[in-house]
Amino acid sequence: MTSSSTVLGGEFALGADVTVHRVGFGAMQLAGPGVFGPPTDRDRSIRVLRRAVELGIDHIDTSDFYGPWVVNELIAEALHPYGDNLVLATKIGAYRDHQGAWLPLSHPDALRAQVHDNLRRLRVEALDLVYLRYIADQPGIELADQLGALVELREQGLVRNIGLSNVSAEQFEQARQHTEIAAVQNLYNVVNRSSADLLDRTARVGVAFVPFFPLGSGFSASRAREDGVLRSIAERLGATPAQVSLAWLLRRSPNVLLIPGTSSVAHLEENTAAAVVELTADDVAALDALVAEGESLEAAH
């Protein structure tokens, strides 16, 4: 019998005291259209979350600004009380206005308040992993002060591990001068390698790298499929293009943790099965050649 550890891509230490399977679940898409408002089918969202846990997924990525608030409340409704091995990772540093725009909210006092908001809505006493969604060039707000607020919360037992999102390789190294960083979450996928240097740096120091939009988005994802490389590999392997994309990420580096998101149970099961897709060296070489140029980090994360 195949173990859940094998099916879910093996394991990786996410911080000093937390180990997770390499295939997790990103909960962002459980909110309404545009990650704003309630889901169109609340019961379906609940089923997706419960099925994720049934499949052995032990790493769920979320944020209070997904909805806003909607996704964290869904997670609590579906899964609380949580199993001992379930790791909940959340992000702070932004908020949604009444039109659904993503706006910075990064003052240290605001970060403290956001941590408490996540604690309350997720119904937990401590957050396993909190990503600081970093936005540079905010007058009067320094990275050191933001991290200092998170370190204080960690010392109080409210945060177990600190992560970064939307950072450069240089900002990652700067942050490590102030505190231990457990994970980095940046845009990276088979057609967008804008964070390749950062991924390599995290691998060298044993820090998890969690790519958001692991299946690509918008024009880049369509372009890769139209090119035919993903589809031809998928057809030969009896897989889907999405599974091939995720399998490539798992092959890219052992510190990569996947959090593909969906609001469909069928797609959840498909994404999870990507961990057992076996790419040949020729497959990897062909996929390595798919690179979209001139892309920037997505605002939604």
Residue 89 bridge partners (DSSP): 61, 129
29 in Cβ contact with 263 (< 8 Å)? yes
134: annotated active-site residue: no
> How is 156-187 classified by DSSP, letter by letter?
TTSBS-EEEES--HHHHHHHHTTS---EEE-B
Contacts of 141 (CB under 8 A, 6+ apart): 106, 107, 108
E-only strand ranges, 74-178: 87-92, 94-96, 102-104, 129-133, 162-165
66 in Cβ contact with 91 (< 8 Å)? no
CB atoms closer than 10 angstroms to residue 40: 11
The upper half-sphere exposure of residue 99, i.e. CA atoms within 13 Å in the direction of its Cβ, equals 2
Q: Which of 66, 131, 134, 188 is labelled catalytic? A: 66
Would you name the residues annotated as active-site residues?
A: 66
